[in-house]
Structure 1
């Protein structure tokens, strides 16, 4: 379960940001998780709840935004959010597409005191 190592890295990142801003605790953590990132949100939540104890994030609310797949079509220069995992352009039917969102996991926001 790689969610545990992801949470450990996230907590380290939070600690670094908190120290840089002289914060005593983090009250809210917001992350964006792409549906193609390979991260299971429910397992990430479990891992966060397990590892946050006795850290600066112990009382933090953990908020996950699930990012759908967004593609860019090279044929018609359009950009679309895909509802299904069919990697062709909904406008022109072309298959010359690039995934521009949906594979990432990003720390979006921290609230600290």
Structure 2
């Protein structure tokens, strides 16, 4: 389960941020994950509970924002939500490899004190 390693990395990043801010406690995390990121939201929640069980994040809340995928067709200049692993433009039918969003894994905000 790579979500455990991802959550460890998020915890380390958050601890660096609170040290720089002079805070001592993390009450909440907000993460943005893309629908094509390969991250399972439920597995990430489980990993969060395990990784944050002790230390400055004990009892912290996790808020997840799942970002739907969005492609761009350079031929007809149309943005579209892909329906399959092959990203065919619904307007002109050509394939597009230009993914505008959907692969995110971002720490958006921390709630600290």
Cα deviation, residue 77, structure 1? 1.4
- Secondary structure, in 3 states, of the residue corresponding to 1:56? helix
Cα deviation, residue 68, structure 1? 1.1
Measure, in 2, the Cα distance between the counterparts of 1:91 and 1:97: 15
Measure, in 1, the Cα distance between the counterparts of 2:51 and 2:22: 22
- Secondary structure, in 3 states, of the residue corresponding to 2:37? coil
How many residues get paired?
A: 112
Measure, in 2, the Cα distance between the counterparts of 1:98 and 1:3: 26
Post-superposition Cα deviations, 1:34-93, rounded to whole Å, max 9, x if no partner, equal 1111111111100110110222211211011111111011101122233x2251112222
**Corresponding residue for 2:55?**
55
**Corresponding residue for 1:93?**
93
Where does structure 1 lack aligned partners over 5 or more consecutive residues? none
**Corresponding residue for 2:11?**
11
Identify, as 1 or 2, the structure richer in helix.
2
Normalising by structure 2, what TM-score?
A: 0.90
Measure, in 1, the Cα distance between the counterparts of 2:95 and 2:81: 15
Normalising by structure 1, what TM-score?
A: 0.90
Question: 1:74 aligned to 2:77?
Answer: no
Measure, in 2, the Cα distance between the counterparts of 1:15 and 1:100: 30
Quote the RMSD (CA, aligned, Å).
1.4
**Corresponding residue for 2:40?**
40
Measure, in 2, the Cα distance between the counterparts of 1:4 and 1:33: 15
Contact 2:25 / 2:57 at 8 angstroms: preserved in 1? Answer: yes
